[in-house]
Amino acid sequence: MDIIELERVAREIRLRDLQAVFEAGAGHIGGEMSVIDILTALYFRVLNVWPDQAKHPDRDRFVLSKGHTACALYVTLAKRGFIPEEEISTFLQPHSRLNGHPNCNKVPGVETNTGPLGHGLPVAVGMAKAAKLSGAKYQTYVITGDGEMQEGSNWEALMAAAQFGLDNLTLIVDHNRFQQGASLADTNNVAPLRPKLEAFGWDVTEINGNSMDEIVPALEYRGSRPHGIVAHTNKGHGISFMQDRVDWHHKVPSKEQYDIAVAELSEAL
């Protein structure tokens, strides 16, 4: 897809994600809105994946380490053809396989269970190292939250990736500046991230993570070292009253707020 098509798909995913969270009465809509542009670029432009062969050995691997934004991943997977689009209406319902965190044993296209923060990047390092050991050509991508980068396990994984020369690994940090309950700056401020990642031996690109013009070339970059993307995003992106508001980490819109959000997102289509 070209940039314009990707932007259209991202807006459609935002609308469906909003509807799913509203109908379920739960979710993590702020962080979902911040990461949807990146998910769209991955699944509709960058990743070599085959929805009818979800476990194809040559597929690229993607890990959503910030697993609490699972709904955005489910909507993206459905739109890409991994699961039926109508199944999104079962999000968080009894006996649904679309749980609050992704489950690789239930949902095609999910590579590993995530939710406990600080685990996704170490798993992705293992996937990338496995490719090196076996001679496989797949690429591995992982998205973490910026608050999640406070976990020490991530920094051990960063060191290991550089040590192993994992030029087949891309980390995207969804740097929306907020985590559950507070801003990053008021909790344990790991920013600025770029010099820290560089100090750990990574190539680093810093982008506007809500701009397809910047997302696509960053994701398609190939160098000789592991690649880190610091994606500056907005929590609640695309919805005026949610944007950059910490309470929308897992708040659910009222009917009035839902209607306003639908109108704002629909206007952009």
For the chain, list the domains and their CATH numbers: 3-267 (3.40.50.970)
pLDDT over 90, % of the chain:
97
| Residues β-bridged to residue 61 | 140
Q: Helices (H) and strands (E) in the chain — how many of each?
A: 8, 7
**Residue 229 DSSP SS3:** strand
Give the per-residue pLDDT at 64. Answer: 98
Backbone angles phi, psi at 22, to 5 degrees: -60, -45
pLDDT category of residue 153 using cuts at 50, 70 and 90: very high
Is it the case that residue 16 has pLDDT exceeding 80? yes
Give the per-residue pLDDT at 241. Answer: 97
* Euclidean distance between CA atoms 90 and 84, whole angstroms: 11
* Euclidean distance between CA atoms 54 and 117, whole angstroms: 25
Neighbouring C-beta atoms of residue 30, cutoff 10 Å = 27
* Euclidean distance between CA atoms 255 and 152, whole angstroms: 40
Mean pLDDT computed over every residue of the chain: 97
> Nearest Cα to 70, choosing from 138, 9, 20, 105?
20
pLDDT category of residue 157 using cuts at 50, 70 and 90: very high
Mean of pLDDT values over 189-215: 98
Under a CB-based contact definition with an 8 Å cutoff, are residues 180 and 147 in contact? yes
Is it the case that residue 240 has pLDDT exceeding 90? yes
Give the per-residue pLDDT at 267. Answer: 87
> Nearest Cα to 13, choosing from 37, 46, 31?
37
pLDDT category of residue 25 using cuts at 50, 70 and 90: very high
* Euclidean distance between CA atoms 68 and 65, whole angstroms: 9
Least confident of 83-87, 107-111, 245-249: 245-249
